[in-house]
Amino acid sequence: MAEITCKGCRLSQTDYISKLAFNEHELINFLSAHGVILKELKCPKCGSDLKLGKDFFWRCQKTRIFYKGKKKLKKKCNFKQSLRKNTFFEKSKWSIELICTYAMYYITINPPKYPFLLEEFNASPHSVVSWNSFLREVLLEWGFRNTTMEKLGGVGKTVEIGEAKMEKRKYNQSRIIEGQWVVGGVERNSKKIFIVDMPDRTHESLLSIILEKIEEGTKIISECWPSCSWLEEYGFIYETINPSKKFIDPQFGAHTENIEGDCGELRSKIPKAGRKKEYYAGYLAEYMFLRAYPNFRDRAHELFKAIGQLYNPSEILNLNNIFFSGLI
């Protein structure tokens, strides 16, 4: 894994713009400190240490001496590789600075996000929808990684739960399977969360997850399963959210109501264009991330660290090396 040397920075949007957005050297240091890009790289051809140029390319300038008969010859290695290769940035035409700026806006601006990002970045609707999806993918994997081993809730505490179906992955980096259902829970007034795989959508599977993840005596709130009053038989207090209550759509400003597959405030995070069930998991994770880090200054560190963990340049590089060595 690419080493994460930053132990916790507090970066606001203003800090990012003034210190990183227009300073390539500092931005590269920030990304490498969070494991998003590699700090160093060796030449796969000759094993020498590569140098990173101002154009964001790793280059090898080592000269190799060899003999052809009695004649002494010199040959430069001349290997080069983009800094983007094997990273979150690899398959995008956007600059690294622009992608990072987009990510910072995504986790700091209040809804509605879509029209603002569309206008601010002068981007196509496809680009905005895609990058929003890519970032939700990162947050979803963050949710899996940060699922607490402790049970949520307890007497006098409330846990919101929801189910969601997995969407398509960007580069198939995530361990989760497209089409698979997951269950998520967040304890109110706490950073405790869980997101776990749901083998099927049966009564037995749901009960098994709740008993494993939530303390007896907890008040459980959900709109996903309106007929779960049977949970009270197991020592829980169950409440169904009023499906007639209206919420303002965060991206398009429209009213939404009775959205299945989310929980509580999460309904306000799902725009009309994202109401297909396969998109809910990403919104579920985004909601949990924002609840876990309500202070904007804490979000950048966690987001970029999560990007480096999902799109780990060291792991991808090692997989590529194994693949190519197998072809030789």
Are the beta carbons of 151 and 141 closer than 8 angstroms? Answer: no
Indicate the pLDDT class of residue 269, thresholds 50, 70 and 90: low
Average pLDDT (94-110) is: 95
Task: Indicate the SS3 state at residue 164.
Answer: strand
Return the pLDDT at 257.
30
DSSP secondary structure of 283-313: HHHHHHHHHH--SHHHHHHHHHHHHHHHT-H
Return the pLDDT at 318.
53
Decide if pLDDT at 322 tops 60: no
Percent of the chain with pLDDT over 70: 77
Q: Which two tokens stand for residue 207?
A: 């009960």
Are the beta carbons of 128 and 165 closer than 8 angstroms? Answer: no
Read off the pLDDT of residues 230-261 as tens digits, 9 standing for 90 and up: 888 999 998 876 544 433 333 333 222 322 33
Read off the pLDDT of residues 146-191 as tens digits, 9 standing for 90 and up: 888 899 999 999 998 887 776 554 444 544 555 678 888 888 888 7
Q: Look at the alpha carbons of 200, 204, 210, 212 in this order and tell me if their dihedral is positive or negative.
A: negative
Return the pLDDT at 261.
35
Decide if pLDDT at 263 tops 80: no
Read off the pLDDT of residues 21-56 as tens digits, 9 standing for 90 and up: 999 989 999 999 999 999 889 888 888 888 888 888
Return the pLDDT at 55.
86
- Higher pLDDT residue, 305 or 178? 305
Return the pLDDT at 293.
87
Q: Chain-centre distance of CA 22, in angstroms? A: 24
Are the beta carbons of 194 and 140 closer than 8 angstroms? Answer: no
**Would you kindly state where each structural domain of the chain is located, as residue ranges?**
13-92, 96-307
Q: Residue 125: left if φ>0, alpha if ψ -120 to 50, beta else—which one?
A: alpha
User: Which region among 76-80, 86-90, 100-104 has the lowest average model confidence (pLDDT)?
Assistant: 76-80
Mean pLDDT for the chain? 79
Decide if pLDDT at 221 tops 70: yes
- Higher pLDDT residue, 201 or 11? 11
Percent of the chain with pLDDT over 90: 37
Read off the pLDDT of residues 271-291 as tens digits, 9 standing for 90 and up: 544 445 555 678 878 888 887
Are the beta carbons of 50 and 59 closer than 8 angstroms? Answer: yes
Decide if pLDDT at 118 tops 50: yes
